[in-house]
Amino acid sequence: MRTTLKAAVATIGLAVAVTGLATAPAAQAASTYPVTTTVDGRTVKDPDVAVGAQRIANMYPAGTSVTLACQDTGPAYGGSSIWDLTTDGLWVPDAYVRTGSTAMVAPQCTTPHSYPAKADLNGRVHKGDAADAAGSVPDKYLTGASVPVVCQATASDEIWDFTSDNLWVPDAYVKTGTEGFVSGIPHCDTDGLKPGGSAFPADPRADSAIAFAKARLGHTDWNNQCELFVERAFGTSGRFATAMTHYQWQKNNGRIHTGSVAPAGTAVFFTSTTSAGHIMLALGGGVAISTGPSVYQTSTYAQRSDYLGWAYVPSSW
């Protein structure tokens, strides 16, 4: 599957290379528009691509909105040849987005985007490969040299960049101007992405994590240890020093969700009253378990003024 996906992305990269190397996307105010029906999210502008590595079914449920990073033309679908790239890094057909216009309302997307390498980088055949993995190209991008990024993806919860040279490099060593995904650059695949609204699936580890938390309802020995509580629920500890550190990591990696109900077994974040922030474990259905003077259950966390959103805990836990 990786080989097939890489070839598909490479074709996209080569097709746009003739237009020249684009610089980083210009900063601009993104606009949000409602979808007129439930739409899938795609990593390519292809109406017929199968659900899987390049398409997420029901990504944006009817009644929700999408935020546009940019727009481009592609195969006609639904009566329009305009495609919208959302800030989630996914393409949706503009025909099903109520922008108020049949023309483009956002800047046109351009790829690849050029960013300087922070260090000498080996190009890898697959995302997540070690620098000396088979097929790697030593020192493909020297310090300060331009890295032509076509799309981005995750591997082991880290961001990787796919280049127009058909190679992968770790995003941590590319100066994109952000520690998260770059708005205006599509995802290469659907790894790590989940559909919106009620279509979010539960974490397969949710049941055991929730059982741990429920068994401690009423306990008074977890006050000021909210991050440790959630980590222990997943059988680990020492991952993040504070809930806010955990939240920042999730945010920087484009994993925070807002405007939807947190699925069972996800982490729910708040600024709280200290710099450490606060974290709860979601039970699903708008209910969560929180620590405090005692461990308690709440159904009003989403109404808190300091609510930041939710995220799946790292798969490495």
For residue 23, what pLDDT is reported?
44
pLDDT at 200: 52
Ranking 127-136, 186-195, 225-234, 262-271 by mean pLDDT, the lowest is 186-195
In DSSP terms, which residues pair with 289 in a beta bridge? 281, 297
pLDDT at 183: 85
Check residue 4 and give its pLDDT: 36
At residue 150, the pLDDT reads 97
pLDDT at 20 over 90: no
The upper half-sphere exposure of residue 171, i.e. CA atoms within 13 Å in the direction of its Cβ, equals 27
pLDDT confidence of residue 262 = 82
Report the pLDDT value the prediction gives residue 303, as an integer from 0 to 100.
87
pLDDT for 122:
98
Compute the distance between CA of residue 199 and CA of residue 66 in angstroms, rounded to an integer: 16
The beta-strand segments (E) located in the chain are 31-34, 39-42, 55-60, 65-77, 80-86, 91-93, 113-116, 121-123, 137-141, 146-155, 158-163, 168-170, 267-270, 278-284, 287-290, 296-298, 307-311
Q: Is the pLDDT of residue 254 over 70?
A: yes
Average pLDDT over residues 299-313: 91
Q: For the chain, what is the largest distance between any 2 Cα atoms, rounded to a whole number of angstroms?
A: 64
**pLDDT higher than 80, residue 201:** no
pLDDT of residue 16 exceeding 60, the answer is no
Mean pLDDT, the chain, as a whole number? Answer: 87
Confidence of residue 160 (pLDDT cuts 50, 70, 90): very high
- Closest by alpha carbon to 124, among 253, 6, 4, 1? 6
Cβ neighbour number for residue 179 with a 10 Å cutoff: 14
Q: Where are the domains of the chain?
A: 1-193, 200-311
Mean pLDDT across the stretch 163-178? 94
- The CATH topology of domain 200-311 is endopeptidase fold (from Nostoc punctiforme) (3.90.1720)
Segment 153-166 mean pLDDT? 92
Does residue 22 register a pLDDT over 70? no
Which pLDDT score is estimated for 202?
A: 61
Residue 175 has pLDDT above 50, yes or no: yes
- Structure confidence at residue 296 (pLDDT): 97
pLDDT at 258: 78
Tell me the pTM. 0.61
What pLDDT score does 12 carry? 38
Q: Residue 226: is its pLDDT beyond 80? A: yes
pLDDT in tens, 80-127: 999 999 988 999 999 999 999 999 999 999 989 999 999 999 999 999
- Confidence band of 236 (pLDDT split at 50, 70, 90): very high
Confidence at 240, pLDDT banded by 50, 70, 90: very high
